Structure formats: C-alpha cells, structure tokens
Amino acid sequence: MSSDALAVRWPEQGVRLRNGQLRAQLTGDRLVLQRHRKAIPAMPRPTARSASARATRPCS
C-alpha cells in the first residue's frame, strides 16, 4: 500500500501535519513499513493575540 500527501489533524492537541508519505506491505497480520516520510508541520494561522505578543516583544 502507498499514500502521498498524508495529513494529520488533532486540533485539541494543536497537531496539524501535512505532506507525509507512506509505503508499506501487509504480510499476514503484520504491517511492514518500507518507507515513511514524516509530515511537516502546517503553520498555524496567527491569532490577534499571538500577533500582538510578537509586536510587543523587545528585539535582542
């Protein structure tokens, strides 16, 4: 089995991943992973609160 552009969303935990990849084979009762590429984090949309917090932080 294979899949491209895998996505995982778990809003309660703040998890948003995209563009994962999986290549696997089912052998009996086992799933054998042949290739797995982790999904990259999707950038969350800035909220008004986080945008204002960034604007008020002093530069180092």
pTM for this model (two decimals): 0.46
pLDDT band, very low/low/confident/very high, at 36 (cuts 50, 70, 90):
confident
User: Phi/psi of residue 58, each to 5°?
Assistant: -70, 145
User: Phi/psi of residue 50, each to 5°?
Assistant: -70, -35
In a domain, 53, yes or no: no
Report the distance separating Cα 32 and Cα 6, nearest Å: 18
In a domain, 31, yes or no: yes
In a domain, 34, yes or no: yes
Given the DSSP bridges, would you call strands 40-41 and 30-37 parallel, antiparallel or unpaired?
Answer: unpaired
In a domain, 17, yes or no: yes
Q: How many domains does the chain have?
A: 1
Tens digits of per-residue pLDDT, 12-26? 888 888 888 889 999
Residue 36's domain comprises 2-42
Q: Write down the pLDDT at residue 57.
A: 55
* Residue 54 burial class via C-beta count within 10 angstroms: exposed 0-12, middle 13-18, buried 19 and up: exposed
Report the distance separating Cα 51 and Cα 60, nearest Å: 18
